[in-house]
């Protein structure tokens, strides 16, 4: 073995490369540092002892098989003496008390911690400009400590840093990530540095190109980013990933890659057995009485207590954030020039609030049959659903017979308009953008189906219900006005949806499950890839050209004929074949052959291989 080869093998980083197949035995027994994390390897358990391999070989999330993954990455050693309702970690430092909470120590320099206290981390990468592998940093000597000691240390990574908690109670939490840039200083040289990385929580991108000092307003200043998260299987994953941006040419260790000072996880639910004291109960009662008096006074002034009918009584006690006058002013009294669309539940208008905020106002029509009681039920559901790939609800207005919803305004309108709208409205979407849009939609649906506390079937996934913000991030709309799927399966007495996107079992028998959304999503994938709408073939009743064409081309082995000519050859062939196969699996005629949305996300991200679609 030459010296060159030896140097390569001391630090081998194969992380996040979508690699599959078997791992050579010499890698599993190597004395060198080999990082195989975030791949799709298959392990032969009989060929060696995978039970908690040594930490020099990083196998974190290196296999798509859960059982093998747990054994190979030491997760079977996780100790959960009891379920936790909170979690606090002082990243890169010792035990610290801060704001009444005790933060656990996190000063182990290993690549992978064995989760002996119910949580673990994976540290990927090596700073090539330093012979010593540093996993954490301290505030430089001589630099005054302006903040709490919690921010005097930080864990750092050259590529990817992942924290996993395994013992949390299921429920809603606020995840707070504490940052302070303590590697750079304010001297002329290092003040030029920029630390840029991405933040993922539960696999969902929450911050793209996050710059600590820029968002904090300076070097050494504290910034805390807080995100709401639903924990459903007692597990939480926080990942910080360096995508190659920021400073890489200052000759000093630690000037690039993610850096974090602390993590705090706080519950948004009442803990089991946590009763209220008499003083607390008395305070709540007094506050409630005062609130009722104030509300009655306001309503009396507005003459809202006069001649109330039964429907208005159903709205008693509901406070919305907009008045009808504010909405009319924002939309210029629903002027036709501000009308930007006609949704399944009524007209949609662009509006501008006094502070300049743009909103999209959905004026629910009487045709939607949304009574006040039903509207309020759906409104409570919409408000509770917050996700980066769902259109955000800013507020509502309920006055008289007016039922209005004010959503965030999406600058780039709908996917349908971008792909096959009027020529002047179409957008030039390259392959990378289209692929990302598909992943965005899949993540939003996976949240509705599996991650939300309420299981929701959208019923009407289509290109017009996928909207884009100014950065072409895709978000699902109209999800809140679909019905809750209260049982695993049921027969729907009222079919809602759009022909061409509706699953066969739902269109013909009213049989509704979340797999109906999966079918609709598959049709949207075909539209994105081909740039064509799935329109009906008038010569053949109940048949749609795009889907039928895709199946026929699969049989003939000419699937690439379906690719949008606008893309030319500017796409990854392997990605395209995976993409088309996923679309066809989603649109399988039998709902049992369709994958779940969480599995589809993993397929598109290359973490698992899609099942091969077999044309009938």
pLDDT given for residue 1 in this prediction: 41
pLDDT given for residue 454 in this prediction: 74
Q: Contact, 236 vs 142, CB < 8 A?
A: no
Best-predicted range by mean pLDDT among 50-59, 120-129, 192-201, 252-261? 192-201
Those residues with Cβ within 8 angstroms of residue 262's Cβ, 6 or more apart along the chain or in another chain: 88, 89, 90, 91, 98, 103, 150, 151, 177, 178
Q: Contact, 598 vs 520, CB < 8 A?
A: no
Q: Both tokens of residue 391?
A: 């259109």
pLDDT given for residue 56 in this prediction: 61
pLDDT given for residue 441 in this prediction: 96
Report the 10 Å Cβ neighbour count for 283. Answer: 12
Tell me what the mean pLDDT of segment 31-38 comes to.
73
Distances (CA, A) of 532 to 461, 566, 570: 16, 11, 18
The residue behind tokens 């996880």 is 265
Helix (H) or strand (E) holding 11, with range, is strand 11-13
Q: Contact, 22 vs 43, CB < 8 A?
A: yes
pLDDT given for residue 543 in this prediction: 56
Please indicate whether residue 286 or residue 380 has the higher confidence score (pLDDT).
Answer: 286
pLDDT given for residue 474 in this prediction: 96
Report the 10 Å Cβ neighbour count for 596. Answer: 15
Closest CA to 475 of 500, 441, 434, 515: 441
pLDDT given for residue 386 in this prediction: 82
Measured distance CA(233)–CA(97) in Å, rounded:
29
| CATH number for domain 415-604, candidates 1.20.1440.230, 3.40.190.10, 1.10.10.10, 1.10.510.10 | 1.10.510.10
Helix (H) or strand (E) holding 9, with range, is helix 3-10
Of the pLDDT bands very low, low, confident and very high (cuts 50, 70, 90), residue 445 is very high
pLDDT given for residue 32 in this prediction: 67
Tell me what the mean pLDDT of segment 594-601 comes to.
93
Give the percent of the chain with pLDDT over 70.
71
Alpha helices (runs of H) in 11-118, residue ranges in sequence order = 25-28, 66-72
Res. 7: pLDDT tops 50 = no
Q: What CATH architecture is 85-97+146-267? A: Sandwich (2.60)
b or e along 234-253 (b: 16 or more beta carbons within 10 Å of the residue's beta carbon)? Answer: eebbbbbbbeeebbeebeeb
Closest CA to 227 of 271, 279, 173: 173
Q: Both tokens of residue 544?
A: 């749609």
Report the 10 Å Cβ neighbour count for 302. Answer: 11
Closest CA to 95 of 153, 169, 176: 153
Q: Contact, 495 vs 487, CB < 8 A?
A: no
Of the pLDDT bands very low, low, confident and very high (cuts 50, 70, 90), residue 335 is very high
Give the percent of the chain with pLDDT over 90.
29
Of the pLDDT bands very low, low, confident and very high (cuts 50, 70, 90), residue 606 is confident
Region for residue 553 given its phi and psi (left: phi exceeds 0; alpha: psi -120 to 50; beta: otherwise): alpha
b or e along 11-23 (b: 16 or more beta carbons within 10 Å of the residue's beta carbon)? Answer: ebbbbbeeeeeeb
233 three-class SS:
coil
Res. 317: pLDDT tops 50 = no
Which position among 35, 460, 478, 517 bears the catalytic label?
Answer: 460
pLDDT tens digits, one per residue of 477-487: 887 555 433 34
Q: Contact, 35 vs 15, CB < 8 A?
A: yes
pLDDT tens digits, one per residue of 517-536: 999 999 999 999 999 888 76
Res. 11: pLDDT tops 70 = no
Residue 440 bears catalytic tag = no
DSSP structural state of residue 275: P
Res. 5: pLDDT tops 90 = no
Tell me what the mean pLDDT of segment 129-140 comes to.
68
Three-state SS across 350-417? EEECCCCCEEEEEEECHHHCCCHHHHHHHHHHHHHCCCCCECCEEEEEEECCEEEEEEECCCCCEHHH
How many residues are there in the chain?
616
DSSP structural state of residue 536: B
Of the pLDDT bands very low, low, confident and very high (cuts 50, 70, 90), residue 341 is confident
pLDDT tens digits, one per residue of 167-179: 888 889 999 999 9
The residue behind tokens 């008038």 is 538
pLDDT tens digits, one per residue of 186-233: 664 455 678 899 999 988 999 999 999 888 888 888 999 999 998 988
CATH 2.60.40.1120 fits 318-408, yes or no: no
Distances (CA, A) of 287 to 274, 280, 281, 283, 315: 21, 10, 10, 6, 21
Helix (H) or strand (E) holding 517, with range, is helix 514-530
pLDDT tens digits, one per residue of 556-571: 888 899 999 999 999 9
Which value, in Å, is the radius of gyration of the alpha carbons in the chain?
27
| 314, burial (CB in 10 Å: exposed 0-12, middle 13-18, buried 19+) | middle
Please indicate whether residue 81 or residue 550 has the higher confidence score (pLDDT).
Answer: 550
561 three-class SS:
helix
Please indicate whether residue 2 or residue 275 has the higher confidence score (pLDDT).
Answer: 275
Please indicate whether residue 55 or residue 294 has the higher confidence score (pLDDT).
Answer: 294
Count the alpha carbons within 13 Å of 143 in the hemisphere toward its beta carbon.
Answer: 19
Q: Both tokens of residue 517?
A: 């959304």
Res. 54: pLDDT tops 60 = no
pLDDT given for residue 207 in this prediction: 93
Q: Both tokens of residue 303?
A: 């003459």
Those residues with Cβ within 8 angstroms of residue 603's Cβ, 6 or more apart along the chain or in another chain: 578, 582, 595, 609, 610
Distances (CA, A) of 480 to 60, 160, 486, 501: 37, 35, 15, 19
Packing angle, helices 514-530 and 597-604, rounded to 10: 30
Those residues with Cβ within 8 angstroms of residue 61's Cβ, 6 or more apart along the chain or in another chain: 37, 38, 39, 69, 73, 122, 162, 607
| 497, burial (CB in 10 Å: exposed 0-12, middle 13-18, buried 19+) | buried
Of the pLDDT bands very low, low, confident and very high (cuts 50, 70, 90), residue 45 is low
pLDDT given for residue 499 in this prediction: 78
Distances (CA, A) of 87 to 108, 112, 173, 286, 480: 18, 19, 10, 33, 32
Of the pLDDT bands very low, low, confident and very high (cuts 50, 70, 90), residue 155 is very high
Least confident of 10-14, 278-282, 346-350, 449-453: 278-282
**What does the mean pLDDT of the chain come to?**
78
The residue behind tokens 């799935």 is 534
Structure pTM?
0.50
Distances (CA, A) of 200 to 239, 290, 512: 5, 43, 32
Tell me what the mean pLDDT of segment 230-249 comes to.
84
DSSP structural state of residue 276: P
Of the pLDDT bands very low, low, confident and very high (cuts 50, 70, 90), residue 166 is confident
């Amino acid at each position: 073995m030459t010296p060159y080869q030896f140097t390569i093998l001391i630090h081998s980083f194969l992380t996040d490369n979508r690699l599959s197949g078997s791992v050579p035995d010499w890698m599993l027994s190597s004395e060198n540092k080999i990082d195989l994390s975030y791949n799709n390897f298959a392990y032969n358990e009989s060929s060696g002892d995978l039970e908690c391999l040594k930490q020099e070989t990083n196998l974190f999330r290196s296999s798509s098989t859960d059982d093998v993954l747990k054994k190979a990455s030491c997760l079977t050693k996780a100790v959960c003496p009891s379920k936790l309702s909170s979690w606090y970690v002082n990243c890169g430092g010792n035990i610290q008390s801060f704001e009444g909470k005790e933060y656990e120590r996190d000063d182990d320099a290993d690549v992978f911690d064995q989760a002996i206290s119910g949580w673990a981390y994976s540290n990927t990468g090596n700073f090539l400009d330093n012979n010593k592998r540093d996993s954490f940093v301290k505030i430089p000597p001589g630099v005054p400590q302006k903040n709490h000691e919690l921010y005097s240390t930080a864990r750092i990574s050259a590529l990817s840093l992942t924290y996993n908690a395994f013992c949390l109670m299921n429920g809603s939490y606020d995840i707070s990530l504490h940052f302070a840039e303590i590697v750079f200083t304010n001297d002329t040289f290092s003040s030029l540095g920029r630390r840029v990385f991405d933040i993922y929580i539960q696999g969902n991108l929450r911050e793209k190109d996050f710059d600590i000092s820029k968002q904090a307003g300076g070097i050494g200043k504290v910034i805390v980013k807080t995100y709401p998260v639903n924990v459903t299987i007692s597990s939480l994953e926080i990942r910080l990933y360096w995508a190659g941006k920021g400073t890489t040419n200052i000759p000093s260790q630690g000037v690039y890659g993610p850096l974090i000072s602390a993590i705090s996880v706080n519950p948004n639910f009442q803990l089991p057995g946590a009763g209220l004291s008499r003083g607390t109960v008395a305070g709540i009662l007094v506050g409630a009485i005062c609130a009722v008096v104030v509300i009655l006074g306001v309503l009396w002034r507005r003459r809202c207590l006069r001649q109330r009918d039964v429907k208005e009584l159903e709205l008693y006690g509901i406070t919305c954030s907009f008045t009808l006058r504010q909405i009319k002013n924002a939309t210029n009294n629903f002027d036709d020039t501000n009308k930007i669309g006609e949704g399944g539940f009524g007209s949609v208008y662009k509006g501008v609030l006094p502070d300049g905020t743009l909103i999209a106002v959905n004026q629910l029509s009487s045709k939607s049959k949304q009574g006040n009681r039903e509207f309020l039920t759906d409104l409570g559901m919409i408000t509770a659903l917050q996700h980066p790939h769902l259109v955000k609800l800013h507020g509502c207005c309920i006055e008289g017979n007016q039922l209005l919803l004010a959503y965030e305004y999406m600058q780039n309108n709908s996917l349908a308009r971008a792909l096959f709208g009027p020529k002047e409205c179409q957008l030039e979407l390259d392959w990378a953008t289209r692929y990302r849009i598909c992943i965005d939609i899949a993540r939003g649906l996976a949240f509705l189906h599996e991650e939300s506390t309420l299981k929701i079937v959208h019923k009407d996934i289509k290109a017009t219900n996928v909207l884009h913000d100014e950065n072409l991030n895709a978000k699902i709309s109209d999800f809140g006005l679909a019905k809750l799927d209260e049982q695993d399966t049921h027969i729907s007495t009222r079919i809602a949806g759009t022909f061409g996107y509706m699953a066969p079992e739902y269109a013909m028998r009213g049989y509704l499950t979340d797999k109906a959304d999966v079918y609709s999503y598959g049709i949207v994938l075909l539209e994105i890839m081909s740039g064509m709408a799935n329109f009906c073939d008038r010569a053949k009743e109940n048949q749609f050209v795009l889907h039928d064409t895709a199946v026929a081309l699969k049989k003939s082995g000419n699937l690439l004929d379906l690719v949008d000519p606008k893309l030319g050859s500017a796409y990854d062939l392997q990605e395209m074949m995976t993409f088309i196969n996923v679309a066809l699996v989603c649109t399988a005629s039998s709902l049992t052959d369709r994958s779940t949305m969480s599995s589809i996300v993993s397929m598109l991200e290359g973490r698992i291989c899609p099942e091969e679609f077999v044309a009938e």
